[in-house]
Amino acid sequence: LNPKVCIVGSGPAGFYTAQHLIKAQQHVHVDIYERLPVPFGLVRFGVAPDHPEVKNVINTFTQTAKHSRCSFYGNVNVGKDVSVQELQRAYHAVVLSYGAEGNRTMGVPGEGLAGVYSAKDFVGWYNGLPSCRQLSPDLSCETAVILGQGNVALDVARVLLSPVDMLKETDITQPALEALAHSQVRRVLIVGRRGPVQVAFTIKELREMVNLPGTRPDMVEADFDGVTEALKDLPRPRKRLTELMLKTALQTPGETEQERRDQASRTWGLRFFRSPVEVLADPERHRTAGIRLAVTRLEGSGEAARAVLTGDVEDVTCGLVISSIGYKSLPIDQSVPFDSKSAIVPNTMGRIKQAPGLYCSGWLKTGPTGVIATTMNNSFDTARSLLDDMESGVLDLSAAKSGSQVITALLEQRGVKPVSFSDWEKIDRVEMSRGEASGKPREKLLTVEEMLHVART
């Protein structure tokens, strides 16, 4: 028996699911299908350019991809080039791991004005996601407002305020580097509707902001009323994070730190108890000129605290608004159950409800939460469910399945040429050597056409 499994999506969820299946079952063959010609999903397109250590998981994923029982098919758009039902006929099991490529919208007037971007697209722009290449955000304003207080919000703030000399040594895209070199942004406000105790970012990211060269923090002391008293009840990681915020906001800096702050030309600040009501336009009604924020207060405490409106509003002048309120999964195919309210595929332990032989892992399964390690564990869980179903006979392994053989034939008929993992390695080599020429770890190819051209020469 040689069970054939197909995985849709080659980000961390797809690769970790594949890794576990291959390790745990001696005969299973796994085919990974990816819409882009390049693998690794958000490791390539989401992780901040100045966090190269986070990208080390690519080495593990590469080992999996080169395993004799694993194959990679890039440049294949499942749901369009080939249907999920066609995959189900060709494989014993299909795992959907295609992540969350949609944006949660703020749902406020003025959201469509020039100068308003989603963090997902902004990050995609500086990380070289082909679909975000045309973004070219206008950075000619002094103040940027980021809505949301997760790690992505801090990544964006850091990239906007980092000295260009620091960014020059990362794999940030050339167009983004040039735009940031000419940026007029001097002040970034990171806004959340709840308080300091409820922020979603982690201490590492906060520390990077606190230590960012050429910048100083700008906080509102009143935002921290009562926070010192709340400290004693907090779990340790949350406590350490809150202490660092308190220290940054309230403590009189020492001599060296004061000197550093006095010389800083850029500022960043956390703003709490604020929720967006409207993006305000300039008199010509074309561009962002500011944002109207509703003032909130908390009901309840700790993680469960809810922000309720007080009825007051506050206007902030800014020319750039970046909404970092979360990614959202999208349905792939009519045949796959999808809960549009919570934007996930309804599942139990990764088994998609009412769809035998169909599984999901990653953000499609859980919603867009957690870091790469969280995704790893949730993907291993899905792989275990699938292996249990093989053992218990829920999946009929006696049926002969032709796997990639029939799918590649279908794709050929439809004029789709998949990119293999060795084709990707050609792209990888070109990017690395282009980077080397300018002292960067890599210079990413920015269009699908260019990627395909390199893969096929």
Which DSSP string do the residues of 276-310 spell out, in sequence order?
Answer: EEEEEEPTTSSBEEEEEEEEEEEES-GGG-EEEEE
Distance between CA atoms of residues 335 and 118, nearest Å: 29
Distance between CA atoms of residues 284 and 254, nearest Å: 47
The closest of 8, 31, 13 to 420, measured between CA atoms, is 31
Q: For residue 149, say whether it is annotated as part of any ligand binding site.
A: yes
| CATH 3.40.50.720 domain locations along the chain | 4-101+328-419
Beta-carbon contacts of 451 under 8 Å, excluding residues fewer than 6 positions away, are: 36, 37, 38, 130, 419, 427, 445
The pLDDT of residue 429 is 98
Q: For residue 90, say whether it is annotated as part of any ligand binding site.
A: no
Distance between CA atoms of residues 322 and 145, nearest Å: 6
Residues in the chain: 457
Provide the phi-psi class of 17: left if phi over 0, else alpha when psi is between -120 and 50, else beta: alpha
Instruction: For 113, list phi and psi in degrees, rounded to 5.
Output: -65, 155
User: Counting Cβ atoms within 10 Å, is residue 91 exposed (0-12), middle (13-18) or buried (19+)?
Assistant: buried
The pLDDT of residue 303 is 84
Beta-carbon contacts of 144 under 8 Å, excluding residues fewer than 6 positions away, are: 157, 160, 185, 187, 188, 189, 318, 319, 320, 321, 322
Q: Which CATH class is domain 4-101+328-419?
A: alpha beta
Q: For residue 142, say whether it is annotated as part of any ligand binding site.
A: no
The pLDDT of residue 189 is 98
Q: For residue 211, say whether it is annotated as part of any ligand binding site.
A: no
Looking at residue 107, the DSSP 8-state letter turns out to be -
The pLDDT of residue 252 is 94
The pLDDT of residue 343 is 93
Q: For residue 193, say whether it is annotated as part of any ligand binding site.
A: yes
The reported pTM is 0.95
Which position has the token pair 């995609």?
124
Q: For residue 125, say whether it is annotated as part of any ligand binding site.
A: no
What is the dihedral angle through the alpha carbons of 249, 254, 257, 263, rounded to the nearest 10 degrees?
A: 100
Q: For residue 363, say whether it is annotated as part of any ligand binding site.
A: yes
Q: For residue 448, say whether it is annotated as part of any ligand binding site.
A: no
Which regions in the chain score pLDDT beneath 50?
Answer: none
Q: For residue 205, say whether it is annotated as part of any ligand binding site.
A: yes
User: Counting Cβ atoms within 10 Å, is residue 405 exposed (0-12), middle (13-18) or buried (19+)?
Assistant: exposed
Q: For residue 150, say whether it is annotated as part of any ligand binding site.
A: yes
Beta-carbon contacts of 454 under 8 Å, excluding residues fewer than 6 positions away, are: 426, 427, 430, 445
| CATH 3.50.50.60 domain locations along the chain | 105-325
The pLDDT of residue 326 is 87
CA atoms 337, 339, 343, 346: torsion sign: negative
Distance between CA atoms of residues 188 and 192, nearest Å: 13
Number of separate helices (H) and strands (E) present in the chain:
17, 18
Which position has the token pair 């986070």?
54
The pLDDT of residue 103 is 87
Q: Which CATH class is domain 105-325?
A: alpha beta
Distance between CA atoms of residues 206 and 219, nearest Å: 13
Q: For residue 13, say whether it is annotated as part of any ligand binding site.
A: yes
Which token pair is 45?
């397109």
